[in-house]
Amino acid sequence: MTPRQVVESFWESMRTNDFYAAGRWLADDFVCHWPQSGEVICGRDNFAELNSHYPAKGLWRFELVSMVCEGDAVVTDVLVTDGDVKARAITFHTVADGLIKKQVEFWPDDFAAPAWRRQWVKLLSDVEKVVRFADFSELCTRARAVLNPRKLSEFAEAGGVGAALLTADGNIYTGVCIDTASSMGFCAEHAAAAAMITAGESQVVRLVAVNWDGKVMPPCGRCREFISQLHSANSGAEVLVAEGCTVSLGELLPHDWKSGRS
């Protein structure tokens, strides 16, 4: 079977809600990473047990929206619901010898690792979480995952730009822009920063924003200044301003008015 067929078969098995059957498409040394919570599921049995015990109001439904394949790598965009909870999973699959060897899975919202599933997962330390984000690939994926351009009302639109930032504690926060009449909206970077502040953090290590078409774009001047004021070390944050081009936030604020203040 091709990697595409293997992943398609996996999601077909997931739709039955027989997670042990879905586990048959996983390798013996299967590993699934949930970077947002720092959880790692090791082995098909732990995968099946965790999903079988996941709290739900009804049967889980999985709708495969899109799939991209290149060699042994397959990326899927799947809508997930139990009739009450509605979510979206972006999953990066690595296939080898007709089985899924590894998954890295992202969800729309950040979430903590709950105690009830501790027996089936391992937890990454904060240091390990930072190491996992050695480049901007996962940040870009998270920023693109929240893109959803839509009209909210006669006067407001949202979701045309997505942003993701990585904090010094190894957590990622995302946000989208809201554009309104009378210029009362705000940028995606502001939304991501607000989520960070709400969670009790303020130091940014990396930042990226993507336009409606998924292309990387630099933050506007207002966002640069806004984020620079949230923590004294934020001027050293790495900002992806274009594909393959990274500069510090400080470099985006030459002749900073704050530098001469005590």
User: How does strand 39-42 pair with strand 61-70?
Assistant: unpaired
* Domains recognised in the chain with CATH numbers: 3-124 (3.10.450.50), 137-260 (3.40.140.10)
Distance between CA atoms of 242 and 66, rounded to whole angstroms? 25
Are the beta carbons of 105 and 91 closer than 8 angstroms? yes
pLDDT in tens, 205-232: 899 999 999 999 999 999 999 999 999 8
pLDDT in tens, 192-205: 999 999 999 999 98
Q: Report the DSSP beta bridge partners of residue 164.
A: 174, 208
pLDDT at 131 over 60: no
Please compute the mean of the pLDDT values over residues 55-68 and round it to a whole number: 94
**Residue 191: is it exposed, middle or buried by C-beta count within 10 angstroms (0-12/13-18/19+)?**
buried
Are the beta carbons of 79 and 11 closer than 8 angstroms? no
Distant-in-sequence contacts of 232-236, Cβ < 8 A, 24+ apart: 233/168, 233/203, 234/202, 234/203, 234/204
Confidence of residue 70 (pLDDT cuts 50, 70, 90): confident
Considering only CA atoms, which of 52, 46, 76 is closest in space to residue 63? 76
pTM as predicted: 0.54
Please compute the mean of the pLDDT values over residues 143-157 and round it to a whole number: 95
